[in-house]
Structure 1
Amino acid sequence: MVSHELAFTALLVTLVLILISWYKSDETSNSRKAGTPPLPPGPKGLPLVGSLPFLGPNIHEELTNISHQYGPIFKLYLGSKLHIVVNSAEMAKVITVEQDESFANRAPHIAGLATSYGGNDIAFAPNNANRRNLRKVLVQEVLSNVNLEASHAYRRHEVRKAVKYVYDRVGMDVDINEISFSTVLNVLTNIIWRKGFVDDGTNYANLSEKIQKVICRIVEIAEGLNISDFFPMIARFDLQGVERKMKDQMKQFDKIIETTIKERMNSKSTNVEETVEQKGRKDFLQILLEHTDQKTGTSITMTQLKALVSDIFLGGTDATSAMVEWAMTEIFRDQKVMKRVQDELEEIVGLNNIVEESHIPKLKYLEAVCKETFRLHPPIPFLLPRAPNKPCTVGGYTVPEGATIFVNVWAIQRDPRHWEDPSEFNPDRFLNCNGSTEKWDYSGTNLTFLPFGSGRRRCPGIPLGEKMMMHILASLMHSFDWKLPNGEELDLSERFGIALKKKKPLVAVPTKRLSDPSLYM
């Protein structure tokens, strides 16, 4: 019995020594090549699992703390995969500007591949002609100024519905994220399926409920830790069922899209093009279907169409609603900020009027509030991970081909070298001396502020997302005064996920601010 125990112990020690030797060999392999810079510094971690066991739920904060020890670029192994974390604007410039083409590929996780129909979308597709073509269709056709203006009435209608919803609950608790999420979802449903939906008597409201149920479930699944993402060798076993669960939800989403497309294409009513007077009045689905029919110079496949619709819904709802919630949280935290927001609204909009999109460009302080919110609470703290298509040198270190690259926007936008009192919520930092915010935009050209990324992989949905966030936030702050429920304190703790959300949802009690009841209808 003792001999068996000794043999087992010897075997275990041998295996551990082999793993340690393999780990050290793998870690130093690049530095052994003559003339090749070493890998960036970083925590050693454990054999096989790397630093994975040591990371807590708020990964963005922990990786920022690691950067304080190892510098603006460091490595860490999560499972068997090498990750390179970039934590300064200077290093981000190398990744997103100077070597943007080399770093323009994605390192998609399993859930992302499932929601993008195997990387056939814009978010997770590799940097190739298909992705560039799809982005061109989205930016120049779907999200053009003409089409955004044409969908103005739908955004207005849904925001007014949200105001009416809150008005009916004056004096009661209102979940800010919930009302924002529903409003954004309804807007997107409107502008994509403008004609409505026909499915065995299913009405439009039921369509929105179906989509919301699927999206919420997708977000819930994707926010969990998937071991298969960190150990590709065992990914085919799908031990946690993430891939299976996600594909089940995408089947539901697929059914909604395909049924809608079938209804549109087989409609016996007058052809849409014959009834539409100008291109700007077409809904997003009609525009995309024209590209699948190759009626334009840029064609897309039906799979790409569905993946693009998935991008619009998943990218637009969760992040926008989270940012409205964060902005209101920060406004509630400082009564001086709240007063300035409402004073500006009173001056620009008036207490005898409702907020219109035409007011938004004039709301400079509220715009600064939104930008300061994006600075402190970027919706995707690491952006979507990149992967170089060849070995590169960044900051004097080697970044191997295929490594997963995190651009730590959360750390960059709190860097005290570029931001005075970086943890303080101060919208004035985004206002020039003349009260404008022209120096700052969401284009990612100023690499100290890049909540939507920079370079080739910058988020293309910024114009629509900005309109929605500003309109919802302005309407809620103009139409109501707000307070926390009795006994409640403001909670600013974060929950890391697809979007950086509040750990505890913001629930507030509205009171009527405008004297004319018709302004709430």
Structure 2
Amino acid sequence: MQIYYFMFIAPSTMLSFSILLVFITFALRYIFKLQWQGKVQKPKQPTLPPGPKPWPIVGNLPEFIINKKKTSVSHWIHSFMEEMNTEIACIRLGNVHVIPVTCPEISLEFFKKQDAVFASRPLTMATDVLTKGYLGTGFGPLGDQWKKMKRVMANEVLSQATHRWLHEKRGEEADNLLRYVLNQCKNGDEGGLVNLRLAARHYCGNVIRKMMFNRRYLGKGKADGGPGFEEEEYVDTIFTILAHINSFCISDYLPFLRGLDLEGHEKVMEEATKVLEKYHDPIIEDRIQQWRDGRKHEPQDLLDVLVSLTDENGNIPLLSTDEIKAQINETMIATLDNPSNALEWALAEMLNKPEMLQKAVDELDDVVGKDRLVQEYDLPRLNYIKSCAREAFRLHPIAPFNVPHMSLTDTTVADYFIPKGSHVILSRVGLGRNSKVWDEPCKFKPERHLQDCNTGEEVVLAEPELRFLSFSRGRRGCPGVVLGSSMTTMLFARLLQGFHWSIPANQGTIDLCQGKKDSFLAKPLLAVAKPRLPLHVYSVSR
């Protein structure tokens, strides 16, 4: 009875309801149709950064191989990024996305805003060999082993307290550097010709060996304070390792090729690591035995620190023999290249511009004087000298890229999609010579770094804004900033305070050409040194 009442009493209401229902049905169908056809706007999905179009399966490996043989991978990457006018790119090598970056702002997005996402390292052939399966801290992937070794390095090996404790050992090597150069100046008023590449690398190697093993020489050394055969072989081996440690090895992107050693990199790394350990291992194993036998009770160097560490229950050792060896391998290769390369390039530039050289010497005379040798406590006041070092780091970086970081998840950076497992590499050349950041980026102008500081503010070698790379930042940043800064500045200060430097006769100017396959000067820097301090000042460098 109620139904009939509804149908006959309210026909207009039923008609309106039916029309509304039909309208809603057609509207929904139309909306669904538009969505199906893609005509309804969807949120824009981020795309990969621009880059060369990849081939199926192998990606850009064909271009990679061709350019690696013709020039270098880094030259190819920088060339196509310039052609595409982009400051972030994507190259697919096999299944790996390699993301080079030349922009400070984008770099900070990676290593400041999303530091946790990019806190791991890729697994590579060279780093695996050097670190005995990633037992150290510099090259290992994110995980418990890395966290353990990072705590050891930050709290025990590279802490401020340890740095102060080993002050005297660094001072001994600064004195020996002066003695070595002085012994090259045996021609009276004519001075002596000095190989500054050899002197700088020798000093850096001496400092870290003295701090680590409490010894300057691995063999007998030389009477003039210079390196013997063992030290020269040792340093050459370290630079061989540095040339191969992040050299874009094909098997790092196609792991099934590892073992075939198509490029010969595996053999080079294995043989170089054996040479390094030929010198390290007997010292390490003997020291471990001394602590076990109770013949040693107090630490005298960093090796003692590593050997004597105890676990949370007070039991020793905290570190295994292989962990100690792996960490020492990493530490030794990390301390030679940056300071020595910066000194050689900066002094080459300054010799061509004598007013810069004189300005640095005047600063030393004002801060230190000529009646004593510059010491580490003087270094904070040597702002112009540190500006020269910063400018060398900026304009003449030690390598084209930093050590790669690997993304732990899919993410978005600078509105681009960065897949999980991507290898992110910051371009040292691209950042340091970015014309959007630096005025006259290809000119050596130390004064630019003084202008960045407020009056009375100390110039430091680190660059937290990533306008160039001296020491990396973030979770995987260099833990040795204090040591690296003091070594670099002391190297500059002692050489500039102790000697007049000039270009060899009949040479004209220093050739500033870079090597074809590396970032060093094409030819080692040779310069004439003459003592500039009273003779009694040098007598402390016995």
Both proteins in one fold, TM over 0.5 = yes
* 1:425 pairs with one of 422, 435, 444: 444
CA distance in 1, matches of 2:174, 2:145: 35
Aligned partner of 1:289 in structure 2 is 307
* 1:272 pairs with one of 267, 275, 296: 296
Letter in 1 for 2:182: Y
* 1:51 pairs with one of 63, 70, 75: 63
Instruction: Return closer, same or farther for 1:51/1:149 CA change in 2, 3 Å cut-off.
Output: same
* 1:223 pairs with one of 219, 238, 243: 243
Alpha-carbon distance, 1:493 to partner: 2.4
Letter in 2 for 1:282: Q
Aligned partner of 2:520 in structure 1 is 501
Alpha-carbon distance, 1:508 to partner: 0.9
CA distance in 2, matches of 1:388, 1:310: 26
CA distance in 2, matches of 1:306, 1:142: 14
2:256 is equivalent to residue 233 of structure 1: yes
CA distance in 2, matches of 1:196, 1:362: 29
Aligned partner of 2:272 in structure 1 is 249
TM-score (norm. length: structure 1): 0.83
CA distance in 1, matches of 2:456, 2:75: 32
Trace 1:462-473 onto structure 2 (pairs within 5 A). Answer: 462-473=481-492
Is 2:240–2:272's contact at 8 Å kept on the other side of the alignment? no
CA distance in 2, matches of 1:187, 1:300: 24
CA distance in 2, matches of 1:292, 1:114: 27
Is 1:104–1:387's contact at 8 Å kept on the other side of the alignment? yes
Alpha-carbon distance, 1:511 to partner: 1.4
Instruction: Return closer, same or farther for 1:94/1:510 CA change in 2, 3 Å cut-off.
Output: same
Aligned partner of 2:5 in structure 1 is none
Trace 1:50-89 onto structure 2 (pairs within 5 A). Answer: 50-52=62-64, 53-54=66-67, 57=71, 59-60=73-74, 62-68=76-82, 69-78=84-93, 81-89=96-104
Residue aligned with 1:74, SS: coil
Letter in 2 for 1:51: E
- The more displaced of 428-437 and 80-89 is 428-437
Is 1:133–1:298's contact at 8 Å kept on the other side of the alignment? no
CA distance in 1, matches of 2:457, 2:123: 34
Is 1:50–1:77's contact at 8 Å kept on the other side of the alignment? no
Instruction: Return closer, same or farther for 1:124/1:204 CA change in 2, 3 Å cut-off.
Output: same
Letter in 1 for 2:193: D
* 1:164 pairs with one of 166, 169, 179: 179
2:428 is equivalent to residue 414 of structure 1: no
Letter in 1 for 2:161: V
Alpha-carbon distance, 1:88 to partner: 0.6
2:113 is equivalent to residue 94 of structure 1: no
Instruction: Return closer, same or farther for 1:37/1:46 CA change in 2, 3 Å cut-off.
Output: same
Alpha-carbon distance, 1:496 to partner: 7.2
Letter in 2 for 1:363: L
1:352-402 per-position Cα deviation (integer Å, ceiling 9, x unaligned): 221221221111111111112212123233110111122222222222222
Alpha-carbon distance, 1:337 to partner: 1.1
1:211-234 per-position Cα deviation (integer Å, ceiling 9, x unaligned): 652442353255256443454332
Is 1:59–1:496's contact at 8 Å kept on the other side of the alignment? no
Aligned partner of 2:18 in structure 1 is none
Aligned partner of 1:482 in structure 2 is 501
Residue aligned with 1:83, SS: strand
Relative contact order higher in (CA < 8 Å, ≥ 6 apart): 1
Residue aligned with 1:456, SS: coil
Uncovered stretches (5+) of structure 1, i.e. residues with no partner: 1-32
> How many matched pairs?
478
Residue aligned with 1:508, SS: strand
Residue aligned with 2:384, SS: helix
Alpha-carbon distance, 1:46 to partner: 6.5
Residue aligned with 1:505, SS: coil
Instruction: Return closer, same or farther for 1:516/1:203 CA change in 2, 3 Å cut-off.
Output: closer
Is 1:387–1:404's contact at 8 Å kept on the other side of the alignment? yes
Is 1:85–1:406's contact at 8 Å kept on the other side of the alignment? yes
Residue aligned with 1:136, SS: helix
Is 1:107–1:387's contact at 8 Å kept on the other side of the alignment? yes
Letter in 2 for 1:266: Q
Residue aligned with 1:460, SS: coil
Is 1:58–1:494's contact at 8 Å kept on the other side of the alignment? no
CA distance in 2, matches of 1:129, 1:496: 40
Is 2:118–2:407's contact at 8 Å kept on the other side of the alignment? yes
CA distance in 1, matches of 2:164, 2:383: 21
Is 1:51–1:77's contact at 8 Å kept on the other side of the alignment? no
Is 1:51–1:78's contact at 8 Å kept on the other side of the alignment? no
- The more displaced of 431-440 and 393-402 is 431-440
Q: Specify the structure having the higher radius of gyration (Cα).
A: 2
Is 1:193–1:284's contact at 8 Å kept on the other side of the alignment? yes
CA distance in 1, matches of 2:316, 2:115: 27
* 2:212 pairs with one of 162, 171, 192: 192
CA distance in 2, matches of 1:197, 1:154: 13
Aligned partner of 1:8 in structure 2 is none
Trace 1:12-23 onto structure 2 (pairs within 5 A). Answer: none
Aligned partner of 1:374 in structure 2 is 393
Letter in 2 for 1:128: G
Is 2:498–2:531's contact at 8 Å kept on the other side of the alignment? yes
1:253-291 per-position Cα deviation (integer Å, ceiling 9, x unaligned): 334333223322333986433xx4xxxx63101111122
Is 1:76–1:84's contact at 8 Å kept on the other side of the alignment? yes
TM-score (norm. length: structure 2): 0.80
CA distance in 2, matches of 1:329, 1:416: 23
Alpha-carbon distance, 1:298 to partner: 10
Instruction: Return closer, same or farther for 1:515/1:438 CA change in 2, 3 Å cut-off.
Output: closer
CA distance in 1, matches of 2:228, 2:131: 20
Is 1:440–1:446's contact at 8 Å kept on the other side of the alignment? no
Alpha-carbon distance, 1:70 to partner: 4.0
1:115-158 per-position Cα deviation (integer Å, ceiling 9, x unaligned): 12222222210112221221221122111222212222221211
Identity %: 27
* 1:142 pairs with one of 157, 168, 178: 157
Instruction: Return closer, same or farther for 1:207/1:57 CA change in 2, 3 Å cut-off.
Output: same
Instruction: Return closer, same or farther for 1:177/1:73 CA change in 2, 3 Å cut-off.
Output: same
CA distance in 2, matches of 1:333, 1:80: 47
Instruction: Return closer, same or farther for 1:79/1:220 CA change in 2, 3 Å cut-off.
Output: farther
Alpha-carbon distance, 1:338 to partner: 0.7
